[in-house]
Chains A and B, each alone.
Chain A
Amino acid sequence: MRNSLLQVDDLHVEFDTDDGVVRAVDGVSFAVAPGETLGIVGESGSGKSVTNLAVLGLIPRPPGRIAGGRVMFEGHDLLRVGEDALRRVRGNRIGMIFQDPMTSLNPFLTVAEQLTEVTRLHMGHTRAQALDHAVEMLERVGIPAAAERIGSYPHEFSGGMRQRVMIAMALSCRPDVLIADEPTTALDVTIQAQILELMKELQRDEGTAIIMITHDLGVIANVCDRVSVMYAGRFVEEAPVDELFAQPRHPYTIGLLRSVPRLDEAAGARLNPIQGQPPDLTSPGVGCPFAPRCDFALPVCREQDPPIETSGANHRFECFVDVRDVSTSNSTNPAS
């Protein structure tokens, strides 16, 4: 990847559970360049959030464990720099916002306190400087009467406003990378659009790279430059956003795209979910993890790990099958 800012190589994350070791992230690699938005899409439990928490060392340990890989940022491997160095990166060079703004802010502390502590820590602001900066940030994320409202507690804000506060907090130190973990999932649709618009706008102004984690393909189409599709702890397909939507090459991606209800379908048309359940990650068998649910599966899919195929410079996928040969017959007439 050209001058990548953050580069993750072959990351493995495992969790010890009563049922055995769960391989939540199983050899994931990606990179983001300055000003770029990378989408990571996948269903619940596919390892999207864990991947990004691991980047900042936020996996609860125990039971979690980084089992291998590198996370290169500004010439250092974040997995090996140690807690103190990592703390200087968190909230400072790499900001993070989370899914549920109702629970992600501390209910016991004022918004002012939660916003100012991060700049006082990383930018050496005095209390007064930090407060001015915090008001300015709240104004930038579109909170009306920011100067008066900054002394309020989170419960005095609505969900959308709280997510704006989270964004202001994550961007306070002008980070190089913003990791957004399902930032709009808990918000209603009109607020979702506003928050996405705000993030795009701030990215244009600051040149921040964004890693957008979501299960919503609409969000991906709206804001991302490139997309990685995650399944069972692996990136099964990566492509520029237009290409992924126009020419998906992995059967799982095709399933995801087909499961989105469409406005131009006849009323009463059935939804097209992907059949079956995600695999149990405690006992991964051999072969492609998606094979049991795959309409295109061949016998070989259950016997060997799929090869990494490429199509053009930036399109990469892990599959035995060239879906372009069979998709017409199979997709209109799904097997079984």
Chain B
Amino acid sequence: MLVFVLKRLLWMVLTVWAVFTVSFLLMRAVPGGPFDSEREVPPEIKANLEKRYHLDEPLYQQYFRQLAGAARFDFGPSYKLADYTVGEVIAEGLPISASLGLLAMSFAVVLGVTAGTVSALRRQSVLDVTLMSIATIGIALPNFIIASICVILFVFVIPIFPAAGWGSISNLILPAFCLGAPFAAYIARLTRTGMLDVMGQDYIRTARAKGLSGRTVVVKHALRGALLPVASYLGPATADIMTGSLVVEQIFAIPGLGSHFVKAALLRDFPLAMGLVVLYTVLLYSMNLLVDISYTYFDPRVRLE
């Protein structure tokens, strides 16, 4: 187990390095730089700025300078957010996006697993068809539509939640719901498929032949096997949801990380973009590692090596 984790961590370092390198080259390959603007800047000022941020150095020097920084998790100052280092931007936005994301994901798991299980057990019933239609709509509808409907319903028609902002529990509910809804829908479909598969297994017939109640059969004998596909989906999904959503955070005016991903790339804020890419890679990798470890808990036949 320990050997497995250490090995995976070593692989993570290599992966992060590869992602870093490719991203670095891609960023520089795109035309335009951080200090280009429509207004003509005097060449002396531009040269000064570039010197200040080491953009006058040859590419390989910039690469190694940034790589050395990344190794210490120090990506330097943001080019565009004055007086902020990349570390500060992340330290400010990540806790907000992550807590919102984790809440949304918990909600998605509870709702998705429940709906999926009920659907599977009442297969072909009106309930099943209704739930799965909602799930399909949930996957298909873009976030901003769900969010708009929620705002209209629960802010204006029935005013129980604030329209936007951050700081209190009531601020969390609507965005968490909107953020989690597509994930809940996907988890519901995964759970339904997994549950249908497991309920057809011989050992479920054995459990029923023992006289166990329907609930014991489902909860004790079937659920674990049915949730294995959900567990593997949760790894990447959690990394995704924790790093914030541009749309939901914009609509509800939440100061998370979501918009930085887009802006950093558009504005050629090289250090911030690199910092966010590395953050996402590390998160994704860690979540997948957690999923692999959780398999040993779920399934005694799995051994990590």
**What is the interface of chain A, defined by CB distance below 8 A to chain B?**
53, 56, 58, 62, 83, 87-92, 95-96, 98, 100, 103-110, 117-118, 121-122, 153, 155, 166, 169
Q: Is B301's CB under 8 angstroms from A90's CB?
A: no
Q: A109-B221, A153-B300, A155-B300 in contact; A104/B210 too (CB < 8 A)? A: no
Q: Is A87's CB under 8 angstroms from B300's CB?
A: no
Determine whether B291 belongs to the interface, using a CB cutoff of 8 Å to chain A.
no
Q: A87-B212, A87-B213, A121-B212 in contact; A106/B301 too (CB < 8 A)? A: no
Minimum C-beta distance from A334 to chain B (A): 39
Q: Is B124's CB under 8 angstroms from A62's CB?
A: yes
Q: Is B209's CB under 8 angstroms from A58's CB?
A: yes
Q: List 6 A-B contacts (CB under 8 A).
A: A87-B213, A103-B202, A106-B221, A107-B301, A122-B211, A155-B301
Q: Is A108's CB under 8 angstroms from B300's CB?
A: yes
Q: Is B201's CB under 8 angstroms from A90's CB?
A: no
Q: Is A118's CB under 8 angstroms from B210's CB?
A: yes
CA distance in complex: A108, B225 (Å)? 8
Q: Is B224's CB under 8 angstroms from A117's CB?
A: no
Minimum C-beta distance from A104 to chain B (A): 5
Q: Is B201's CB under 8 angstroms from A91's CB?
A: no
Q: Is B211's CB under 8 angstroms from A89's CB?
A: yes
A interface SS class: mixed
For A166, the chain B residues whose CB sits under 8 A away are 206
Interface size on B, residues (CB 8 A): 23
Minimum C-beta distance from B156 to chain A (A): 45
* The 10 A-B residue pairs with the shortest CB-CB distance in the complex, in nearest-first order: A91-B210, A90-B211, A91-B211, A103-B202, A96-B209, A106-B203, A87-B211, A153-B300, A104-B202, A118-B210
CA distance in complex: A108, B220 (Å)? 9
For A103, the chain B residues whose CB sits under 8 A away are 201-203
B interface SS class: helix
Interface centre among A92, A96, A106, A155 (most CB of B within 10 A): A106
The interface bits of chain B over 49-91 (1 if a CB of A lies within 8 angstroms of the residue's CB, else 0) are 0000000000000000000000000000000000000000000
Q: A108-B299, A109-B221, A153-B300 in contact; A117/B205 too (CB < 8 A)? A: no
Determine whether B298 belongs to the interface, using a CB cutoff of 8 Å to chain A.
yes
Minimum C-beta distance from A170 to chain B (A): 8
Q: A107-B299, A107-B301, A108-B224 in contact; A88/B202 too (CB < 8 A)? A: no
CA distance in complex: A5, B100 (Å)? 63
For A110, the chain B residues whose CB sits under 8 A away are 300
Determine whether B207 belongs to the interface, using a CB cutoff of 8 Å to chain A.
yes
Minimum C-beta distance from A208 to chain B (A): 16
Q: Is A90's CB under 8 angstroms from B209's CB?
A: yes
For A109, the chain B residues whose CB sits under 8 A away are 220-221
Q: Out of B124, B214, B298, name the residue touching A108 (CB < 8 Å).
A: B298
Q: Is A98's CB under 8 angstroms from B205's CB?
A: yes
For B298, the chain A residues whose CB sits under 8 A away are 108
- Who on chain B is nearest to A107 by CB? B301
Determine whether B7 belongs to the interface, using a CB cutoff of 8 Å to chain A.
no
Q: Is A105's CB under 8 angstroms from B203's CB?
A: yes
Interface centre among B208, B210, B300 (most CB of A within 10 A): B210
CA distance in complex: A266, B223 (Å)? 55
- Who on chain B is nearest to A89 by CB? B211
Interface centre among A83, A91, A92, A105 (most CB of B within 10 A): A91
Minimum C-beta distance from A156 to chain B (A): 9
